[in-house]
Amino acid sequence: MAQQNKFVAEQNLLDTLDRIARNQAAYSVLYVSLSKLKPKNRHPAFIRIIAKLFDDLVGTAEGMMFILNSGDFAILGKNITENIVSNAVDKLRKGLASDPILFNSNISEFAHLYKFPEDFTTLYEYVKQQIDETNIIIPDFSSLKYPVEASQMDNVMSHLDAINIAEIVKHQSIIRIEKSNQFKVMFQEFFVAVKDLSAQYDKDMDLTANKWLFLYLTQALDKKTIASFQASEIKNWPESISLNLHLSSIFTAEFDNLVKNFFSSQKQIIAEVQMMDIFNRLESYFEAKEKLHTQNNKILIDGLIPETLPLIDIDRLQPDMIKLFWNPMMEYDTNNQELRNIINQFGSDKIILAKCTDDKALRWGVSYGIRTFQGPYIDNLETAIIRSQCPAAANCTAADCLKRRRLITGATRNQCKHIEHLEKLLG
């Protein structure tokens, strides 16, 4: 019975097909095989954008969408034509240019239009097969990690104490494009990546599987990250820095020590907090914001996407800044008036477009009035500018330079022969 409960959407689709069996000719089904995309293109944020591309089709076809257990979706409706399907796939081709399934000569392997009544039985059996075959599939567990259990947390925390966190802390610039098309570093974000932390533990251990234990771990990590600044070898600090923090970490002695003793009064700390943390601790959010403002610091809401931005009450929360995450499918979301109104109302100068992978992200941001950016494309741009001024650039690669630049201490960073260029800030 539990096995069947996984396939509610599949069963609902079959039930709907049964109901229209007497009038099949009025309908067709567009079946989109998202499960055939590369794993990186099956990120939930991508899937939401892809599904949104087909929203108009659902309305036009007087239909309904079924999100299946495999990640595929099926749209049942009327008057769905091959031309409509082709136009939708063309948009996906531009946004996911690296995915081979979209460039297969037989595009129906990705987006297949089942025309009724001739294809009714074929589709019905295909969906039914997806349910039935799960009873005989033997999963391959050889590559799976084991989740951390509560009984192991003492050892996990003890190991955290032994890790030299300063050697895995990284920083990344947030850059503003000035009106003269000059670049200026607004601040730098300091963080510990989950993959870097996980590399310090047993490779078969999944630190993130249990969200409550991971929350406990990352709260302790916040304190270690803050304390690691004492070991930093950076001499040329930006005017502002940001830290990924839990709201609770803003009330710790470690944070107070950082504010009072490490930075001069001219420098500013921006606390980047997650929306889910705010939902869970709304009163703490307002208390944290008040404390930060009293110290002349700021608060930033991190990890938003265009779909979630309208869901939060910005007028009530009144953060100093927000950070939107870019993904390639946003390139086609150029006329979102609701989004444009929110950006204009909040202030485009207080919005950062993060995870920018190419110049399309910058063009999209500028089209909405956003001029502050972060991500791999910005890193590469910044590195290229710095290397153009470094006398020893020919002795290392751009990748070497970027890797060293992002660290705050350690042997890898000290391989640079011109630290003064490594720490140079654009502006």
Tens digit of pLDDT for each residue in 390-425?
888 888 888 889 899 999 999 999 988 888 888 888
- Model confidence at 374, pLDDT cuts 50, 70, 90, reads very high
Number of Cβ within a 10 Å radius of residue 360: 16
Q: Output phi, psi for 407, to 5 deg.
A: -90, 155
Structural domain contains residue 404: yes
Q: Which range, of 31-35, 216-220, 284-288, 365-369, averages the lowest pLDDT?
A: 31-35
Q: What is the CATH number of the domain that holds 49?
A: 3.30.70
**Per the structure, how many domains does the chain have?**
2
* Residue 398: domain span: 150-422
Q: Examine the pLDDT at 136 and tell me if it is beyond 50.
A: no
* Residue range 209-247, pLDDT digits in tens: 787 888 899 999 999 999 998 888 988 888 899 999 999
* Residue range 262-309, pLDDT digits in tens: 776 678 999 999 988 888 788 999 999 999 999 999 999 998 988 778
Residues 209 and 300 occupy one common structural domain: yes
Average pLDDT score over the chain: 85
Residues 96 and 198 occupy one common structural domain: no
Residues 105 and 237 occupy one common structural domain: no
* Residue range 74-91, pLDDT digits in tens: 999 888 888 888 877 777
Residues 230 and 170 occupy one common structural domain: yes
What tokens appear for 23 in the block? 């009038």
Whole-number Å distance between alpha carbons of 87 and 424: 47
Residues 130 and 195 occupy one common structural domain: no
Q: What is the CATH number of the domain that holds 179?
A: 3.20.20.450
Query: SS3 for 333?
Result: coil
Residues 115 and 177 occupy one common structural domain: no
Is residue 171 within 8 Å of 190, Cβ to Cβ? yes
Residues 117 and 212 occupy one common structural domain: no
Residues 111 and 214 occupy one common structural domain: no
Q: Examine the pLDDT at 4 and tell me if it is beyond 70.
A: no
Residues 193 and 102 occupy one common structural domain: no
pLDDT score, position 396: 86
Residues 184 and 278 occupy one common structural domain: yes
